[in-house]
């Protein structure tokens, strides 16, 4: 219960934090995250590959939280006995950066694709610790940065999380603009 309350408090504090746009070297940011989880990846027999990544103007802490959560989940939900493969890559299109975090893990049943983004909701076998806050928080951060997030996955066939963000975020998000 203490962990859940603490997670909720952190979530509400984060919702009030003022985001600051700055130029971000995404490769450097993601390499830092990968170094942080290197021991976890080695224990899980997983390799994390970083492909091409565009630099963007956005909020550094929000991006660290978004990619940390997605990489951590990819490592957490690997298939037993199968070497993990996680790929992070990005491209630009029409003023947006499109990032994909792909894994060869357990996958997510299509009926649960929307549910995994709901607060306190989880999908699949509940054999890993978690409160069902991570992906809800990630999607909220992506939206505050003026972006969108989706998942493509099949049970037992891995997952791809796609995040689309403005290349040059001004500090304004869609909710405030409308």
pLDDT digits (tens, 9 = 90+) for 142-156: 999 999 999 999 889
Dihedral over Cα of 170, 174, 175, 178: its sign: positive
Structure tokens at 100: 């994909």
Strand 46-50 relative to strand 84-93: parallel, antiparallel, unpaired?
parallel
Q: Using alpha carbons only, how large is the chain's radius of gyration in Å?
A: 16
Q: What is the pLDDT of residues 22-76, one digit of tens each?
A: 999 999 999 999 999 999 999 999 999 999 999 999 999 999 999 999 999 999 9
Residue 138 has pLDDT above 60, yes or no: yes
Percentage of the chain modeled with pLDDT above 70: 74
pTM of the model: 0.83
Cα–Cα distance between 133 and 8 in angstroms, integer?
A: 8
* pLDDT value of position 49: 97
Q: Return the beta strands (E) in the chain as ranges.
A: 21-24, 46-50, 56-59, 84-93, 96-103, 148-153, 159-166
Domains along the sequence of the chain with CATH: 2-169 (3.30.565.10)
Angle subtended at Cα 28 by Cα 70 and Cα 165, rounded to the nearest 5 degrees: 55
* pLDDT value of position 66: 95
Residues 6+ apart with CB under 8 A from 129: none
pLDDT-derived band at 108 (thresholds 50, 70, 90) equals: confident
Q: What is the pLDDT of residues 75-101, one digit of tens each?
A: 998 998 899 999 999 999 999 999 999
């Amino acid at each position: 219960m203490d962990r859940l309350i603490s997670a909720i408090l952190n979530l509400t504090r984060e919702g009030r934090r003022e985001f600051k746009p700055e130029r971000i070297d995404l490769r450097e940011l993601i390499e830092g995250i990968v170094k942080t989880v290197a021991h976890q990846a080695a224990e899980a027999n997983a390799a994390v590959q970083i492909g091409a990544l565009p630099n963007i103007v956005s909020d550094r802490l929000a991006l660290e939280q978004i990619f940390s959560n997605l990489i951590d989940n990819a490592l957490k939900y690997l298939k037993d006995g199968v070497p993990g493969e996680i790929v992070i890559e990005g491209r630009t299109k029409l003023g947006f950066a499109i990032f994909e975090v792909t894994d060869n893990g357990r996958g997510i049943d299509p009926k649960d694709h929307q549910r995994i983004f709901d607060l306190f909701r989880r999908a699949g076998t509940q054999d890993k610790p978690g409160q069902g806050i991570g992906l809800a928080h990630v999607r909220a951060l992506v939206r505050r940065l003026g972006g969108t997030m989706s998942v493509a996955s099949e049970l037992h066939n891995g997952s791809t999380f796609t995040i689309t963000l403005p290349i040059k975020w001004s500090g304004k998000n869609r909710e405030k603009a409308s």
